[in-house]
Structure 1
Amino acid sequence: MPNERLRAAMAAGGWTYSALADKVEVDPKSVERWVNQGRTPRRATAVLAAETLGEDMRALWPALRQARPARAVTAELVALYNKRADIPVSTYVDMLTQAREHIDVLVYAAIFLHEAYPQLNDLLRERAGDGCAVRIAIGDPDSPHVQQRGEEERFGHGIESRCRLALMHYRPLAGTPGVEVRTHATTLYNSIYRADDQALVNAHVWGVNAYGAPVWHLRRSDSGGMFDTYAGSFDAVWDTATPVREE
């Protein structure tokens, strides 16, 4: 649904997609999606856009009323969310859309992305076509660690089936230049969604499904910090993972 409040605010100030995008440092396509598709930007971007337009941020994007990031306590911590479910999927999509060099996804399944944004594979192909290296690591449904996670979360075989469904979603990307898809059999301590120097890290809490666990939004500031710790963790898992072949 179009964001008519945002459209009116931009029209009143004579703002074009490109002009507002330059001001808030995003791709003009992101601004177009905010207006025409009702997407919600990440909170820091929404605050800057609202200030630029002279509007109330929560009036422009009511969905952000439910996303409650804590105040940053380090230079790398952009936001802290109580639950993954509090974050609009558009936050992930906009972050991935802005990636120019790296997209890394480490999960067991995370099929919520494809369910909420069916064009995800098209987005990843587009990014890869522009030279972005895309790496997707999903859980091996036959891994004992995946099966144990299902028991701990009282989800039974559900998580295994979700891993198989995730593989069905991502397998069509196998063989796409610039995109690699692998399955991993590791104990997953955090799900990681990385786009260049930004990352959303979904903690895993014993007995709690990932959608109910906290997420921290990181932006790399210095080498050797929190961001690099999680980026290194991704690389370590990636080295153990098995390539998925195109069928």
Structure 2
Amino acid sequence: MANERLRDALLRKGLTNEHVAKSMGVDPKTVERWITKGRTPYPRHRRTIAAMLRESESYLWPDSVSDERRAEVAESELIQMYPHRNSIPVDVWDRLIRDSADTVEILVHAALFLVERPTFIKDLRRKAENGARIRLLFGDPHSDEIELRSAEEQLGAGTLGGRIRDALAFYRPVKDVDGIEMRLHRTTLYNSIFRFDDEMIVNTHIYGFQGAYAPALHLRQLSAGGLFEIYSESFESVWAQSTPANVWE
């Protein structure tokens, strides 16, 4: 079976089989077999390719890492656990937003705290203009799911939907910027996800509490790990069933 994840990752990075082969001192036909026949490279080659593509080994070759090894690495992927999102130091957010260059992925309901940062929208525009891929997922303010969450968080009818509309208003200046995609989702949001390159903040959600007061995990992606990848795949699942955010039309 072909390895479509490897094929797609190479295409996104603009890398040819010949380039990869030359980097690792193997024949281009070997690289072709890794892609078209799903052959699994030696561990040293997997590590090299994963680093080159900024993907994890467990994503590119799900069966190559044992469950025991994944569990060990997952412990190292957790940098810090915070009792609630509001306790994450400001300088952590500053660094993540400032230093990310390739990937920004955000899955939230509204996340008004982000646009309260004076330069956040300008930072997104600058990153997109420099080649970063930015994908933003917000809750659909008109959905039943948002109304239910508003009630569960004891916010009152229509409150969360109003917050989402308020947040989206800040993004109007970048709605047509190449490299920035914004969509709306109607999923049950178990976690808010804030990915900046190979680091991620995962804000868990607890019934009856607003996200700011729920625990948060600070993760860093490791090649053989699976914890970071689980949340990344969750983002992809929501993205696949979301719709374009045309709220400004």
Match of 1:181 in 2: 182
CA distance in 2, matches of 1:197, 1:132: 13
Per the TM alignment, residue 101 of structure 1 is displaced from its structure 2 partner at its CA by 1.3
Match of 1:225 in 2: 226
Q: Percent identity?
A: 39
Q: Residue by residue, what CA displacement relative to the aligned partner does 1:183-241 show, whole Å, maximum 9, x if unpaired?
A: 11111000000011100000000000001000000001134511000000011111111
The aligned amino acid for 1:140 is: D
Per the TM alignment, residue 149 of structure 1 is displaced from its structure 2 partner at its CA by 0.6
3-state DSSP class of the match of 1:97?
Answer: helix
CA contact (8 A) 2:140 2:185 kept: yes
CA distance in 2, matches of 1:244, 1:173: 12
CA contact (8 A) 1:83 1:214 kept: yes
CA distance in 2, matches of 1:238, 1:188: 12
CA contact (8 A) 2:74 2:225 kept: no
CA contact (8 A) 2:110 2:167 kept: yes
3-state DSSP class of the match of 2:236?
Answer: helix
The aligned amino acid for 1:138 is: F
Match of 1:93 in 2: 94
3-state DSSP class of the match of 1:164?
Answer: helix
3-state DSSP class of the match of 1:75?
Answer: helix
CA distance in 2, matches of 1:140, 1:172: 20
CA distance in 2, matches of 1:135, 1:152: 27
Match of 1:121 in 2: 121
Match of 1:56 in 2: none
Q: Residue by residue, what CA displacement relative to the aligned partner does 1:6-34 show, whole Å, maximum 9, x if unpaired?
A: xxxxxxxxxxxxxxxxxxxxxxxxxxxxx
From the superposition, tell whether residues 242 and 215 of structure 1 become closer, same or farther in structure 2 (CA, over 3 Å): same
Per the TM alignment, residue 173 of structure 1 is displaced from its structure 2 partner at its CA by 1.4
**Highest Rg: 1 or 2?**
2
The count of corresponding residues between Structure 1 and Structure 2 is: 175
From the superposition, tell whether residues 242 and 171 of structure 1 become closer, same or farther in structure 2 (CA, over 3 Å): farther
Q: Cα RMSD over matched residues?
A: 1.7
3-state DSSP class of the match of 2:193?
Answer: strand
Runs (5+) with no aligned partner, structure 1: 1-71
The aligned amino acid for 2:176 is: G
The aligned amino acid for 1:166 is: A
TM-score scaled by length of structure 1 = 0.67
Higher relative contact order structure (alpha carbons within 8 Å, sequence separation ≥ 6): 2
CA contact (8 A) 1:184 1:242 kept: yes
CA distance in 2, matches of 1:223, 1:134: 25
Runs (5+) with no aligned partner, structure 2: 1-72
Match of 1:141 in 2: 141
Per the TM alignment, residue 96 of structure 1 is displaced from its structure 2 partner at its CA by 2.1
